[in-house]
Amino acid sequence: MAKAVDLPDAIAHYLFTRATQRQDLAYLQVSPDGCILSSGGTLAKYGLETAKVGDAIDQHLLFLTGFFPHPPEQAVMPYIQTEQGAVIDVHFIVESGKQWILLFDTANELEKQQQFQQVANDAALLRQQLTKQIDAARGSP
């Protein structure tokens, strides 16, 4: 992992507030077998308002099925679009032997990314079609 930048408290506080307020952070500490040990943040945003200590996390967040008992020590999974319509960046981190899962709301970013990606992929498909037509016109296979 890259070394943390040594920031003055005021800047660290500003960045923390900005990140947590803009993206509705929720966090869960989980056991090695995927049971909730503690939680906090904007849990209701992710349908976790009824999640209790001891519950299996994949009962509440279906997309975490299969991750336990071997969760990644560190992983980021952006833009997970749930059945309920939430768009979540999921971060797995381990700190001092504790497994944490962080959830960030990234619905706004997804929209912009989707628009960009759509244009790029449409253009790539068009390019492939034109190449095919040119090859056919030239009589190549």
Partner 1 sequence: MIQKKVCMVGAFATGKTSLVARFVKGIYADKYQTTVGVKIDKKLVETERFTMNMILWDIHGEDEFQNVRMSYLRGAAAYLLVIDGTRRATLDVALNLRAKVSENIGDIPFVGVISKCDLQAEWEITEQDIALLKEKKFDLVRTSAKTDVGIERCFLQLADKIMSGAPS
**Residues in contact with 45: Cβ distance below 8 Å, sequence separation at least 6, in sequence order:** 24, 26, 86, 103, 105
Using the rule CB under 8 A, give the single segment among 9-17, 20-28, 41-49, 117-125 that binds partner 1. 117-125
Which residue of 50, 82, 108, 133 would you call a contact of partner 1, by CB under 8 A? Answer: 82
Comparing CB distances to partner 1, the nearer of 3 and 70 is 70
For residue 27, the cross-strand partners are 40, 102
What is the smallest separation between the CB atom of 135 and partner 1, expressed in angstroms?
Answer: 11
Residue 42: in which H helix or E strand, if any?
Answer: none
- Judged by CB under 8 A, the residue of 114, 126, 130, 134 near partner 1 is 114
Beta bridge partners of 92: 75, 101
- Give the CA distances from residue 116 to residues 35, 81, 104, 105, in Å, rounded to whole numbers and listed in that order: 38, 18, 21, 19
By CB under 8 A, the residues from 5 to 64 that bind partner 1 are 58, 62-64
Nearer to partner 1, 27 or 63 (CB): 63
Task: Round to whole Å and give the CA distance between 140 and 132.
Answer: 9
17 or 82: CB nearest partner 1: 82
Which residues of the chain form contacts with partner 1 (CB under 8 A)?
58, 62-68, 70-72, 75-83, 87, 110, 113-114, 117-118, 120-122, 124-125, 128
